[in-house]
A and B are shown apart, each in its own frame.
Chain A
Amino acid sequence: MASRAKRFFEQLLFYRSAAIGLAIILVLVGISVYAIFAIPYDEAVRLWRAGEQHWLSNPRNALPSWVNIFSSKKLPETIILDTSEPKPGVSKAIVPVLERFSRIRIEFSFDYQYDDFPSELNLFFKSRFNASAPQLTVHWAKPNGEEYVLNTMIISREDKYYISNDDRLARELRGLISAKVNRTIEYDAPVTLLLFAEEDASILNPSTAKVMKGTYRLWIEGMAFETNVDVDARLIVYGKVYGWAGTDHLRRDIGIALLWGTPIALSFGVVASVSIALIQMFIGAVSAWFLGRVDTVLQRLTEVFMVLPFLPVVIMISTFYKINIWVLLLVVIGLTAFGSGVKNYRAMFLQIKEFPYVEAARAYGAGSFRIIARYLIPKVLPTIIPSMVLSVPDFVFLEAALAILGLGDPLAPTWGKIIDDAFTYGALYKGLYYWVLEPSVLLAITSLSFAMLGFALDKIFNPRLKEA
């Protein structure tokens, strides 16, 4: 047995495409195992459905970080500075004055050496006080020493200041900088550009505006009319790249869905194709063995299911019953169990049935199901392995297709879901190609690996094709 298996593998690896396909499948299985252990399913679903609040410190629609390796123009990473997590460049001092006031000073400084402007700039506050809310003034200093007052405000216990969304500030900065360069900035320059750009003639046009590289400072000065005060601030300079996969329109890390999409796609595809093939084969065997009335009923039933359009019925069921992905899998198996495959298997079994060894089994008194299970099915099993492997991609893509129709599992993070989101939120119109390409490439690799393996298996198990 062991030597037979060895010979089989030697034969299989003789085909280079089979070796490549098998290697890719093993890698995908490895990724799946990693995903299952690194992020438990519930955790993955929770993260994926958490909504924007949970992902607030990620940039929106960011490219994957590795694009910086291939580009001479370095896109910014996200910079997060938080007074509750002290590190160089962060300082906080709250000093009581005359037993009645508190003076607050928070300072952030960071080095900015990227070639593009940040996508957003936000400030978050957490504060503790009894009655008197602190009043804060936010200042900004560019590397060349230019200083701006961004805003003055009274903060609540949980507060935020979306600097990059502050239109009043944008108008004010536009006026100040226009005065400095003696020309008017005609276009609607965003705050991120105005706060990070060189202040010379280049700023007059959005395509020529350059980033001023160096150390930036943001400091907050404030006052509270009591001594029992504490303020923590968190500055986020949102970049344009994130992680190994980038982020989507809700700032979610696409990597999670790519990672978890792997075990879902593999198990969906493999379980569906294997169980459908086995069930169809069993029905075919029963039909061919018993003939007569059993055969008539099974064949008519098969024809009924062949007349039903598969995809529309699946769509109907998943729309009406809001099923999750594993119930969907059962529905798919149920609908395909009586597929056209039954007819092929029946034809095969009709021939095998007449073989002498089956007759011998019958002669020594083996029961019908014993003959079907021990004599008929094992004979056909090897020949259907290639088509089993070849049909895995169909079901992997079925899941993706349903997701694209908005009918997949509403919770599970899958590859199809990412493609659907990307399509719905106009990734192709906006040029956010990574968003579509990442899940698509994974889908393509998965399908191709199974297809390559399947074609090679086909040549081994059905040698007639090889010689023909």
Chain B
Amino acid sequence: MLPKLAGHLAKRGIILLLTVVVAVYVTIWIANMGGYVDEIVKGEVYLSISQSVRQNPAYRHLNETQVRELIDALYANELKRIGFDKPFIYRSFAYLKDAITLSLGRALWISSASGSKSVYIIITERLPNTVLLFTTTQLLLFFIGLFVGLFLSRRYGSVADRLAVMLAPLSSLPGWFYGIFLILIFASYLRLLPYGGMVDVPPPTDSLSYALSVLKHMTLPVLSWLVAYSFINIYVRRTFFLMFSSEDYVELAKAKGLPESVIQRRYVLRPTLPPIITDFSLSLIASWMGAIITERVFNWPGIGSLLYSASVMFDTPVLVGLVVIYAYLLAVTVFTLEVVYAILDPRIRMGGA
């Protein structure tokens, strides 16, 4: 049994890894179609060579023109060494190797708050802000959808249920769009909450008031997503639960006279939980990346804002780095889910399905 499981997981893992590799490779081609990646690499090579020449005590005695000539000669040599005299197809694999091993290189213009130019540091510095905001949001959405959906599925056709169905179309407007209205009402008109940002300026010194300040700044972005996506979440969950509540085994449980709460927990929630959790984890990862506009509207210093400034400033290494990190996050999540299901689901465990 165990080897079978391990074999299955290993196969899935390899397929996922290959998927990520191909996706990153596609990204490199997209990014280089304008010749941008080449420019980045050339710039980086030139910078590192000129730095090493200028800092080398052996070359102290040279004057400026000689130094420049030396740098140019070394630069041309180095370009040849890393294969710039060959067509892009050869080099693309070198880039792929760098991206896959997470040596994401240096940013062109953007630097991290600590002053670093390393793309990896820049991204990992912003990632927690995004994760904080959108994990909170997604957790709230998840529980609201789950509990209200479950509640409504028991009261099918009631006023509350019909109201939820009626309000579902409101979710066709995205979160950032509601965000604009919330800013208009709570920041611009009522002046209760800040327009955007993450903490007050200057940031409070003690950690409690810092946390409170962050909480205050989080309120509107979180609220905008709750307004936007709660209704559709509730609607989808409710419909889902309704479909499962009419299964034969639920009817049987009812006929046996089991209490409502037990039926809900054991016979409706339990079999529906796996797809719900898959859905939750995938939309969580997607929200870390897909919230660019929400972050821009609320000026939230996360991955989305970083992506926005990187695209405005043509900072290709940062853009490619973000895509790579996203692909990895997604693949790891999918793989984790596979592992969990493989352990939980007897059909997969036994290799039957």
Which residues on A are within 8 Å of B, measured CB to CB?
Answer: 17, 300, 303-313, 315-317, 319-321, 390, 393-394, 397, 400-401, 404-407, 419, 423, 428-429, 431, 433, 436-437, 440, 443-444, 447-448, 450-452, 454-455, 464-465, 468
Q: Are A451 and B172 in contact (CB under 8 A)?
A: yes
In the complex where A320-B34, A436-B180 touch, is A312 in contact with B19 (Cβ < 8 A)? no
- Measured between alpha carbons, how far is A451 from B174 in the docked complex, in Å? 13
B41-56 toward A: CB 8 Å interface, digit per residue (1/0)?
A: 0000000000000000
Q: Are A393 and B173 in contact (CB under 8 A)?
A: yes
**Does B116 lie at the interface of the complex (its beta carbon under 8 Å from any beta carbon of A)?**
no
In the complex where A307-B19, A309-B289 touch, is A444 in contact with B323 (Cβ < 8 A)? no
Q: Could you list some 8 contacts between A and B, CB below 8 A?
A: A309-B323, A310-B290, A312-B319, A312-B326, A320-B31, A428-B184, A444-B177, A448-B172
**Does B341 lie at the interface of the complex (its beta carbon under 8 Å from any beta carbon of A)?**
no
The majority secondary structure among interface residues of chain A is: helix
Q: Which B residue sits closest to A307, measured CB to CB? A: B23
- Measured between alpha carbons, how far is A444 from B180 in the docked complex, in Å? 12
**Cβ < 8 Å to A, chain B residues 17-62:** 18-20, 22-23, 26-27, 30-31, 33-34, 36
- Measured between alpha carbons, how far is A35 from B166 in the docked complex, in Å? 32
**Does B96 lie at the interface of the complex (its beta carbon under 8 Å from any beta carbon of A)?**
no
**Does B284 lie at the interface of the complex (its beta carbon under 8 Å from any beta carbon of A)?**
no
Q: Are A450 and B172 in contact (CB under 8 A)?
A: yes
In the complex where A300-B19, A407-B311 touch, is A429 in contact with B188 (Cβ < 8 A)? yes
Interface centre among A300, A303, A440, A452 (most CB of B within 10 A): A303
- Measured between alpha carbons, how far is A300 from B166 in the docked complex, in Å? 39
- Measured between alpha carbons, how far is A308 from B172 in the docked complex, in Å? 23
Q: Are B243 and A464 in contact (CB under 8 A)?
A: yes
Q: Are B180 and A405 in contact (CB under 8 A)?
A: no
- Measured between alpha carbons, how far is A170 from B169 in the docked complex, in Å? 55
**Cβ < 8 Å to A, chain B residues 81-103:** none
Q: B19 touches which one: A303, A407, A447, A465 (CB < 8 A)?
A: A303
Q: A401 touches which one: B169, B174, B312 (CB < 8 A)?
A: B174
Interface centre among B19, B172, B292, B326 (most CB of A within 10 A): B172
Q: Which B residues are CB-close (under 8 A) to A300?
A: 15, 18-19, 22
- Determine how close the nearest CB of chain A comes to the CB of B232; give it in whole angstroms: 9
**Cβ < 8 Å to A, chain B residues 283-316:** 286, 289-290, 292-293, 296-297, 307-308, 311-312, 314
**Does B331 lie at the interface of the complex (its beta carbon under 8 Å from any beta carbon of A)?**
yes
Q: Are A315 and B311 in contact (CB under 8 A)?
A: yes
Q: A447 touches which one: B30, B173, B296, B312 (CB < 8 A)?
A: B173
